[in-house]
Structure formats: structure tokens, C-alpha cells
Chains A and B, each alone.
Chain A
Amino acid sequence: MITNKMRLEIDAKSENESFARTVVAAFVARLDPTLEELNDVKTAVSEAVTNAIIHGYNEMKGTVYISCLIDKNTVLIQIEDHGIGIEDIGKAMEPLYTSKPDLERSGMGFTVMEAFMDSINVTSNIGKGTLITMKKTFDSIHNRVD
């Protein structure tokens, strides 16, 4: 198995957040990551899906699209919404910045994604939606002595 992919579509409902991160973790688990690496992926996915639900769709009806591509020991995860889009990506990615302080959001979502994944790329179009692409390579496979 060199490459492997999966795609998941879920309603933008908060109850699907745990489902989404668990599915991605289960898919990635075949790379035999450490528990810490697996938790990193789960947390980053949870942040991205939560953003799509709260900000992309304003907690209204919508669909969140999640896709994963495994290439050797690297996973590429894309989380997309067709919601309102982000006006100022730079600002949205600033630690502690939140556009919804009334909801007691910590403003740490993108910071967590950046810290827990190797790379993150955000593209957004106003009125069309947002696409988050994250990558992580698992070293554990190489470090393992069989």
C-alpha cells in the first residue's frame, strides 16, 4: 500500500465533530502512529471541523467535506466547507483572535492546527467557502525497530 484515500461528508452539526475526528484517526491508524501523533491529528481535525460548523456555516445547515490521502508515511487532510468564507485569513490565524468572543471561543483553533500538524494551508473565498489543507508525516515508522 503506497497511497490510500478516503472521503467523508457530514452535516455541519456539532454532534458530528467527534465522529469526524474518530474516522480520520481510524484511517490514519494504519500508518502505526504513536498515540501522541494520533492525538495531534484528532485535535487538528476537531479544530478544522468546528471552525467549518461555527464560522463557515454560522451553526446553520451545511455540509463539511473531509478527505484524507495517505502517501507512504504522510497524511494529507483536507477539510472544506461551502459557507461564508474568511475575510482576513491572516487575522483569523492570529493566536487568541476570535470573531465570536460572545461564544467564549478561545481563538486558538488555527494555532492548534499549526502546532499539531507539520503544515497547514488555508484558502477562502467570500460567499463560497474555506478549504484547509494539513499535512503530517509520521516518523514513528522509521524509528521503529522490527
Chain B
Amino acid sequence: MTLEFEQLDRNLVVKLKGELDHHSAEIVREKIDRSIDRGGIKNLIFDCSKMDFMDSSGLGVMMGRFKKLKSMGGQVVISGINPNIDRVFKLSGIYKIISKYENLEKAIEKLGEGK
């Protein structure tokens, strides 16, 4: 799994590429938290359009970041989910707390400048 970060105002975009499982989850969590802890970030967008595989370990990563940002007054959204990964998300009920958008542009539009 490779990660690409982009900060747009106070929104942090994390582009996930490859496979998110227990093995990759640890490094993904670590890298994202390091970016958040640097400050200036309110919301997090997981762009999953290049993610080929995810199991429940990925859910744990996203729920964890949701808790972290919620406590700081921000939110987490996801975009570009493929149907297979969507089924894992749906099973978990995660959409009750994390909104999904068709693509990154729509997610950014919705979150505005993160102020």
C-alpha cells in the first residue's frame, strides 16, 4: 500500500493505493496520525479510488481516525469506493458516522475549506 498526502486548506486528503489489510494498516495509521499531529488539519478525506482491496483492518483504521478527528471537532469522509470495498463498509454500519462521496471532487466540495 502506498499513501499520498495532499493538504487543501484544513482538509487532509489521503490517497490510498493498493491493498489495505492488517499488515499495511499499522504504517497507514502511523503516517496519517503524524500528519494530523503536525496541526492545521480539521477534516480527513480518504480517497479510495486507487484502493484494490480492503478487509476489516481498514475499517479499524478509518474508525480510529474518525474518533481522533471528532474529538478535535473535525470529520472523516471517504470517496471513490469500489463495489467490493463498499460491501465491507456497509456491513460495518460505518456510513452512519462517515459519509461517502462518489469522488474526491465532491467530497472536497462538501467539506469546503474546512473552516
| Chain A residues proximal to chain B, CB less than 8 Å | 14-15, 17-18, 35-36, 39, 42-43, 46-47, 50, 53-54, 95-96, 103-109, 111-112, 115-116
In-complex Cβ contact of B21 among A17, A95, A105 (8 A): A17
The chain B residue sitting closest to A50, CB to CB, is B22
With A104-B61, A104-B63, A106-B63 as contacts: A50 and B55 at CB distance below 8 Å? yes
In-complex Cβ contact of A18 among B19, B25, B61, B83 (8 A): B19
Main secondary structure of the interface of A (DSSP, over half): helix
Are B55 and A47 in contact, CB atoms less than 8 angstroms apart?
Answer: yes
B56 at the binding interface (Cβ < 8 Å): yes
- A-B contact sample (9 more), CB < 8 A, given A50-B22, A95-B92: A46-B21, A47-B56, A103-B60, A104-B60, A105-B56, A108-B56, A108-B91, A109-B56, A115-B91
- Which residues of chain A have C-beta atoms less than 8 A from B55's C-beta? 43, 46-47, 50, 109, 112
B69 at the binding interface (Cβ < 8 Å): no
